Every structure is written in structure tokens, then in C-alpha cells.
Amino acid sequence: MVLQTETEQKIIVSAEKLFYQKGKAGTSMQDIADDAGINRTLLNYYFRSKDKLFEAVFRKAMGRFVPNLAAMLHSDISFEEYIPALVETVIDTMIENPQIPIFVLQELSSNRERMPQIIKEMGIDPVIALKKMEEAGVSKVTGGMDPRQVILNLLSLCIFPFAAKPVVLNILYSGDNEAYIEAMKERKKIIPQLMKQLMSQNRSR
Amino acid sequence: MVLQTETEQKIIVSAEKLFYQKGKAGTSMQDIADDAGINRTLLNYYFRSKDKLFEAVFRKAMGRFVPNLAAMLHSDISFEEYIPALVETVIDTMIENPQIPIFVLQELSSNRERMPQIIKEMGIDPVIALKKMEEAGVSKVTGGMDPRQVILNLLSLCIFPFAAKPVVLNILYSGDNEAYIEAMKERKKIIPQLMKQLMSQNRSR
DNA sequence: ATTTAGTTTAACGGCTTTGTTAAACAACTT
DNA sequence: AAGTTGTTTAACAAAGCCGTTAAACTAAAT
């Protein structure tokens, strides 16, 4: 999987683009071949089947998501310190691949049997992760709020604006993509600030 | 569209279930007929084509989303007062239809030409909405933070945990659906509280 | 000069999907 | 008793899709 011919890359690029946009069932092998400017036979030559090709695309997409999530859940560093860098990384990733959140979430939601397997592959043990969170000070810091709610808030603030890009872009930013991107960059500062406020606010009560 | 025969309803119910889960291209008319326990011919009898049937389902899904959003953007009431009721409504709606967010977002993102039309139908004028927000005190209340960011935060906190249900459920709540639902209900209190904190915190700086 | 890897073209079989039509049936209405 | 409405069954044509194969071509490597 490390070495890729030029053609293989062209295929992946086109497959990503189309699968992200139209989904697996909504994209034909011919569509992908056309977009890549090559012959349909080559798709089977390199990836054997549509399923396998889709799988490659899906795993690559997950690969951009999971490390961040896993790192957060398993990190020993204090949650508070961890946030700014995490937010920065996540948002930068999303700015370049705004379609990934929906793509991944849609696939996970329509194909639920994937989740257990993915959890394993991620090397996440939910129970341990939760314990670590509590012990490592998340619940102290948040003054009693369920640490899962804290994580949920953080992820929501980071990811949703990208999952909902078409709506946000058109309604809130009148279709001005640059303004939208600028706003997303701004959130790299806003979100850690918010999280900090929330935590200290809660603690001081 | 108001009067519906029993069969028509069965069709819609099955079509919703399957379109939500597998998407338009991933669902065949036969699938829907089978799920509804009727003959495939009847689908065409009532809805003429797959496109039309999908359209009916999509519009119904939007119909549960849009009013909340539109009301918020156009309301004259102060933003602060408005939030708790809005959050309650939105979350209750989502608890009963957790698949709608992804379904709608996925469709809007794969079919972008829809957005302008939808904005019209919603009766939203983005420019006016923004002005109203600013004049009506959102920006004052938020101490200078772009009101669009405030709205984005609110929506993110409300919607994302449902869009990401499979992940959240499995990783944070170990697959325990009741615990998940309970957590979502808890958010009806948490979110307004957070928003209030954020605003007053910001104002007092 | 021959081999090799990548690529194209063309074609095929098998399968699924959509939309349509015609004929028959059931049940309820008038 | 005749008619209307909803429903089923069966069948069809047209189209699309997937995976495979065989044959030919290109260009670079040996």
C-alpha cells in the first residue's frame, strides 16, 4: 500500500472525489474511470473490485480522523493543555477535506457492523479511555460535568461546521467560500477559548 | 399532500427508513416495496417515479429541520431567551429521528444546486437575517463575537451528537442506547447553560 | 531484439434496476 | 348488478452496471 503508481493515485483521487460526493452506490466504476481519464478495465486491474476500491478510500478517510480521536482519548497530557493543538490539527485537516466528516459518518451509520471492528483497529478500549479521562483530571477540571459531554462538546464545535458546510456556507456566509474558510480558521482560536471558559466557569461554581 | 391513504403512508414510512439508512442510490424500489409489504407496482402507482418518491421523503425530512432554523434566524425575541425552548425542540426532534441530520446534510452536500432553492422556499434572506441578529442584540450580548459563530456553536452542540450517533454511541457509551438517549436529554439543560455562560463570560471581559 | 509491465479496445454474460402495460381480482359503492 | 378503486401478478423493454477475458498496442528494460 506504500508504493503507488501514478495511475493508481489518479484512480484513488477520482474515487475519493466521487465517493465523497455521491456515495458508494451513487458512483459507478465508469464514472471513476472517466474522471481519472483512464480505462475502466484498469480499475479492476488495480483494485480487483468496486468493494475493494471503496474500502481503500474509506480506510484512507478514516486514517485522517482516527489518530486525532485516539490520541485524545489515550493521551496522558492534561485535557486543557491538549486542546489547542488538537483543535488546530483537526480544523486544518477538515479545511482541506471538508467532505470527509459526512462521508465517514454516513458510511458508519449505514453500515453499523463496521464500528466494533474499527474500535478494535483503532486500539481504543472505551472503558479504559473513560477511566483515563476521569483519573487524568477531566472530571475535576470540568467541575463534575460528565467528561463524555465535554468531549462531545469539543468534537461538535470542531466538526459540525464542516459536516454542514453547504448550509453554513450558503446561509451564514452567502456563498462566499473565502469568508467561510476565514471563519473556520478563526475557530481555531475561538474553540479552545470557549472550552477554557467553560471549564473554569464550571470549576468556580 | 394532506390526505394519505394507508398504503401511501406505509410506502413513505418504508421509504424514509431505507433512504435514511442506505441513501437514494443504495435503495431500490423493490427494497421499499418489500419493506412496506406491498407490490412494487404500487410505488409507481402512487409516486410515479423513484425521483418523486425520494423528493417527498427529502422534503418531509427538511420540514422537520427548517422551521426551527428559520424561526431562530427571523425571531424578534432576544437570542438569550430564545435558546432554551429552541434547544428543547431541536433535541426532542432529533431523538426521534436521529438519522435525519446525516441524511439531509449528505443530500445537500452531494446535490449543491438544491441550496439556493431551499433558501428561497424557507423564506430566508441571509442578509436580513444577519442584520436582524446584529440589531436585535446578538452581537451586543456576545460581546463582539461574530453572531454567526454564536449560531454555529449552538447548532453544532445540538446537532452533531446525533449526526455522529454511531460513533458516539459505541465509543463513549459502549453501545448502551438508553445511556446515550439519557445523555442527549441531559444536553437540553447543558447547552443553554453553556451558551449563557459563554455570552455572559464574553460580555464581562 | 525480446521480454515485460502498463494500457487500451472491444466484447461478453449475467445480473439488477426502472418504468410501463395488460389482465385479473377483491371489496366496497351506488 | 354494475361500477369504481385499490391491489396483485406477470411480463416486457431499455438501460446500466460489474467483472472478466482476449487481443493488440506502447514504451521502457534487459
In this prediction, residue B161 carries a pLDDT of 98
Both B33 and B66 in a single domain? no
Which residues of chain A have a CB within 8 Å of the CB of B172? 126, 130, 148, 151-152
Residues at the strand D interface (CB under 7 A)?
A 27-31, 40-41, 44, 48-51; B 5-7, 38-42, 45
Q: Name the residue with higher pLDDT: B75 or B106.
A: B106
Task: Please give the mean pLDDT across all residues of chain A.
Answer: 87
Q: How confident is the model at residue A204 (pLDDT cuts 50, 70, 90)?
A: very low
Instruction: Note whether B13 and B112 are same-domain residues.
Output: no
The pLDDT mean for chain B works out to 88
Q: Quick one: which of A59, A57, A66, A64 has its CA closest to A20?
A: A57
Domain shared by A38 and A93, yes or no: no
- Give pLDDT, residue B205: 41
> CB–CB of A163 and B161 under 8 A?
no
More confident call, B153 vs B75: B153
Cα–Cα dist B29/B154, whole Å: 38
Contact B173 A99 (CB under 8 A): no
Is residue A147, in this structure, part of any structural domain at all?
yes
* One domain for residues A28 and A109: no
What pLDDT digit, counting tens, does each position of B161-184 carry?
A: 999 999 999 989 989 999 999 999
A36 plus A72 within the same structural domain: no
Q: Which range of residues forms the domain containing residue B27?
A: 1-48
Flag whether B53 is in a domain: no
Q: Is residue A58 one of the residues assigned to a domain?
A: no
Supply the CATH number for residue A153's domain.
1.10.357
- CA B193, CA B10: separation in Å to the nearest integer? 41
Q: Find the residue in A nearest to B104 (Cα).
A: A164
Q: Which CATH number goes with the domain that contains A44?
A: 1.10.10.60
Q: Is the confidence at residue A198, as pLDDT, over 90?
A: no
The answer to whether the Cβ–Cβ distance between A159 and B157 falls below 8 Å is: no
Residues B93 and B141 in one domain: yes
Q: Within this chain, do residues B64 and B102 fall inside the same structural domain, yes or no?
A: yes
Residue A80 amino acid letter:
E
At residue A87, φ and ψ (nearest 5 deg) are -60, -45
| Reported confidence tier of residue B190, pLDDT bands at 50, 70, 90 | very high
- The answer to whether the pTM exceeds 0.75 is yes
A123 and A173 inside one domain: yes
Q: Assess whether A158 and A76 both reside in one domain.
A: yes
pLDDT tens digits, one per residue of B59-99:
999 998 888 888 877 776 777 788 999 999 999 999 999 99
- Judge whether residue A205 has pLDDT over 50: no
What pLDDT, in 10s, does the model give residues B48-62?
Answer: 999 999 999 999 999
pLDDT of residue A143: 60
Judge whether B181 lies within some domain.
yes
The torsion angle over the Cα atoms of residues B29, B4, B36 and B178, rounded to 10 degrees, is 110
Asked if residue A137 and residue A184 are part of one domain, the reply reads yes
Residue B152 has pLDDT above 90, yes or no: yes
Nucleotide nearest to A42 (CA to C1'): C7
Q: Is residue A38 part of a domain?
A: yes
Give CA–CA dist B80/B199, Å, rounded: 9
Number of domains in chain A: 2
Q: B108 and B184 share a domain? A: yes
Q: Are B26 and A21 inside 8 Å of each other by CB?
A: no
Q: Is A136 helix (H, G, I), strand (E, B) or coil?
A: coil
Of A136, A132, A169, A133, nearest to A149 by C-alpha is A133
Q: What is the pLDDT of residues A29-72, one digit of tens each?
A: 999 999 999 999 999 999 999 999 999 999 999 998 888 888 87
Residues A70, A44: one domain?
no
Residue A55 lies inside a defined structural domain of this protein: no
Q: Is A59 within the bounds of a domain?
A: no
- Distance (Å) from CA A48 to C1' C15? 18
Q: What is the pLDDT of residue B70?
A: 81
